[in-house]
Amino acid sequence: MQIQSATQTDINAVLAQMRALRTQASAGVPMNQLNAIDAPDGMGISSLSVAKGGSFGDALKGAINAVNSLQKTASHGANDFVSGKSSDLVKVMVDSQKASVGFQAMVQVRNRMVRAYQDIMKMPI
C-alpha cells in the first residue's frame, strides 16, 4: 500500500506540473519563461530556451537537438520499462511527456517559420 500511495502522489504531482505548463503555454508565456520540469540530467523543456547573442540558426539547431535528445531518452526509457530493466513508470511517463511537449513546440516554431516565409513571398517587389 505504501508504494501505491507514493506512486499516486508522484503521478498527481506530475499531472499538476503538466497542467501548470499547459496553462502557461496557453496564456502565451514565451518558451524561455516557462516554469519547466527539469530532468535530473538537466535535459528538460527549459533547455530549449535560447541564449541571447547566438545566431538564429544555432538556436534552432540546438532546439532540434534538444528535442531529439528528449525523444531518444523517452524511447530508451520506454524500451527499458517494457523489457523489465526498469520499473519506474513515473519517470517513463514524465520523459514521454517532455518529448511530446518539446516536439509540439518545435512543430509550432516550424509552422510560424512557414507562415513568415509565406508572408514574405506575398510582399510586393
* 27 assigned to some structural domain: no
* 100 assigned to some structural domain: yes
* 84 assigned to some structural domain: yes
How many Cβ atoms sit within 10 Å of the Cβ of residue 17?
A: 15
* 101 assigned to some structural domain: yes
* 28 assigned to some structural domain: no
* 92 assigned to some structural domain: yes
Task: Mark the ranges of the chain whose per-residue pLDDT is less than 70.
Answer: 1-10, 28-53
Residues spanned by the domain of 72: 38-122
Ramachandran region, residue 90 (left: φ > 0; alpha: ψ -120 to 50; beta: rest): alpha
**Long-range Cβ contacts of 12-18 (<8 Å, 24+ apart):** 14/90, 14/93, 14/94, 14/97, 18/97
Check: pTM over 0.85? Answer yes or no: no
Residue carrying the nine cell digits 503521478: 11
Give 26-62 pLDDT, tens digit per residue.
776 565 555 544 444 444 444 444 455 678 888 889 9
* 63 assigned to some structural domain: yes
* 21 assigned to some structural domain: no
Identity (one letter) of the amino acid at 32? N
Determine the pLDDT at residue 118: 93
**What's the number of domains the chain is made of?**
1
